[in-house]
Amino acid sequence: AQSVSQHNHHVILSEAASLELGCNYSYGGTVNLFWYVQYPGQHLQLLLKYFSGDPLVKGIKGFEAEFIKSKFSFNLRKPSVQWSDTAEYFCAVNGGFQKLVFGTGTRLLVSP
């Protein structure tokens, strides 16, 4: 069975700091990987996704993630965070028929 681990449950950063949120998955086959974000009071929305090709994926709002197959990882990065990035971030993997498996989420608080 596939599973997703997000090791950082809470992250606090100051504005302009760099961000890296860890995501590791367990699944032996071909995977599709996603990062979703949930801003306070808003819908869960897609930040970026990886299906194939270039393992470095760029998403909205300056976020990017790198798929490292040998490490079963898909870490999310942003070089300089803003107060508006305060949100909960979810990594998800889909290794089978339409069933997304989500990590437990990471709450990011960016202080101005």
Positions touching other proteins (CB under 8 A) are: 4, 6, 9, 32, 34, 36, 42-46, 49, 51, 90, 92, 94-100, 102-105
Cα–Cα distance measured from residue 64 to residue 82, given in angstroms and rounded to the nearest whole number: 15
Q: Which of 27, 40, 14, 33 is closest to 110 using CA atoms?
A: 14
Residue 106 amino acid letter = T
CB of 15 to other proteins, least distance (A): 26
CB of 68 to other proteins, least distance (A): 20
CB of 97 to other proteins, least distance (A): 6
Q: Which residues contact 15 (CB under 8 A, 6 or more apart)?
A: 80, 81, 82, 83, 110, 111, 112
**With respect to other proteins, which residue has the nearer C-beta, 10 or 18?**
10
Q: Which of 87, 95, 79, 83 is closest to 34 using CA atoms?
A: 95
**With respect to other proteins, which residue has the nearer C-beta, 99 or 112?**
99
**With respect to other proteins, which residue has the nearer C-beta, 50 or 78?**
50
CB of 16 to other proteins, least distance (A): 29
